[in-house]
Amino acid sequence: MTALDRWREGPTREAILGFVRSVSEPGPAFVPKPERIATFDNDGTLWCEKPMYVQADFVLRKWKTMVADDPSLAERQPYKALVEGDRAWLASLTDHVPDLVRGVSEAFGGMTTEAFEAEALEFFHEARHPTLGVPYTDLAYAPMLQLLALLEANGFAVFICSAGGRDFVRAVSERVYSLPRDCVIGSSAPVEHHDGQLVRADGVEQPIDDGPGKPVHIWARTGRKPLFAAGNADGDIEMLSTARFALLVHHDDAEREFAYDAGAERALDEAATRGWTVASMKNDFSTVFGPPPAR
C-alpha cells in the first residue's frame, strides 16, 4: 500500500489507511472491486477555492472582455457590479442567482463544447491565483492527490464530483489529477445537438451537482453509492451521508492556505454527530500544495 507521506502520522491518516486496507484486503469488511467507488468534491476539497472559486475567476474575466466589447452591458447586472467594483453585490452572489445564470448564459450560451474547452484552457494557461501568484493548476492539495493515487492503487474507481462546471474541470482533470475527463461528474449548462455539433444552451441543468444533487449525479454516472467520499462544505453533506467512509477537509490553516468555517458549519456538526473523519489541513497535511506525487 502506498504510504501517505504527505499526511502527518495520526488518527486521520490511520483511519484512512485502515479503511482502505479493510475493504481491499481479504477479511470481514472486504468489498468487491467494482463496488469500490470514491467520490471527491472539487472546490475546497481537491484544490483551493479562496478567495474565490477558480471558475468564478474564469467567468469574471470573460465578463470583463464582454464589457470591453460592449460597454452598454455595464448598465445592468451582473456586469454592473463587476465594472463598479461593487463588493457587496459580488460578496452576496447567492442572492443574485438569476442574474448570474443569465450572465453565464450570455458568456457561453451558443458555444460549441470544443470552443468552450478552448476558452477554459486559455484561462488556465493565463490566469494566476490572486494572492498565491501561481497557475490554478498548481493549487491542488498534495495530500489529496496522494489519496487519489492510494485509492486507485487499491482498486477504487475515483470520481470528481463538482458543484461547479463539469466541462470546465474536465479541461484539466488529466493534467491536475491524473484522472480522465469521463471521471469528472459536475453541473452543466444544458448541451444540445445541432448538425453534428454539441452546443451549450442557456440556463443550468437540474439538479445541479450540489447538496442532494450530488448522490443523484453519482448514481447516474456510476449506478452506485460511493464507498469513500470526501468533501469540505455543507453542499457535500448528502454525498458524505451515502458513503461508508466520509472525509471532511477542514480549512483551519491560515498560514499555509486559508482558515474558514463559513459554508461548512452544518457539515462540521454532521461530522461530529455521525463520526465522519475530519482532516485538519493544519495538523494532518504535512504539505499543502506542491508537486503531485509520482504515480
**Residue pointed to by grid coordinates 463559513:** 262
The C-alpha atoms of residue 12 and residue 6 are separated, in whole angstroms, by: 12
CA-to-CA separations, 178 to 160, 164, 251, 292, in angstroms, rounded: 11, 19, 24, 10
Torsion of the alpha carbons at 27, 28, 32 and 38, rounded to the nearest 10: -100
Q: Is 200 in the site for its own copies (CB under 8 A)?
A: no
Applying CB under 8 A, the span of 20-28, 78-86, 118-126, 185-193 interacting with its own copies comes to 185-193
Distance CA 219, CA 229 (A): 13
97 contributes a contact to its own copies by CB under 8 A:
no
* In the complex, least distance from residue 182 CB atom to its own copies, rounded to whole angstroms: 5
**C-alpha distance from residue 14 to each of 50, 107, 197 (Å):** 28, 46, 49
Q: Judged by CB, which is closer to its own copies: 65, or 197?
A: 197
Instruction: Spell out the residues 6+ positions from residue 9 whose beta carbon is closer than 8 angstroms to its own.
Output: none
Q: How far is the CB of 142 from its own copies (least distance, A)?
A: 25
Binding mask 142-171 for its own copies (x = CB under 8 A): ---------------x--------xx--x-
Q: Which of 61, 181, 244, 282 binds its own copies (CB under 8 A)?
A: 181
End-to-end CA distance of the chain: 13
Nearer to its own copies by Cβ, of 87 and 193: the residue is 193
- Which residue's CB is nearer to its own copies, number 224 or number 282? 224
Pick the binder of its own copies from 30, 212, 254, 269 (CB under 8 A).
212
Q: Which stretch binds its own copies (CB under 8 A): 137-145, 210-218, 260-268, 282-290?
A: 210-218
By the 8 A CB rule, do 41 and 231 touch? yes
Q: Are 242 and 228 in contact (CB under 8 A)?
A: no
Q: Using the rule CB under 8 A, which residue among 9, 70, 192, 265 binds its own copies? A: 192
Contact residues for 284 (Cβ-Cβ < 8 A; gap 6+): 7, 8, 10, 12, 13, 143
Least spacing, CB of residue 74 vs its own copies, in Å: 34
For its own copies, the binding residues in 16-55 under the rule CB under 8 A are: 34
In the complex, the residues that contact its own copies under the rule CB under 8 A are 34, 113, 157, 166-167, 170, 180-182, 184, 188, 191-193, 196, 198, 212-216, 219-225, 238, 241-242
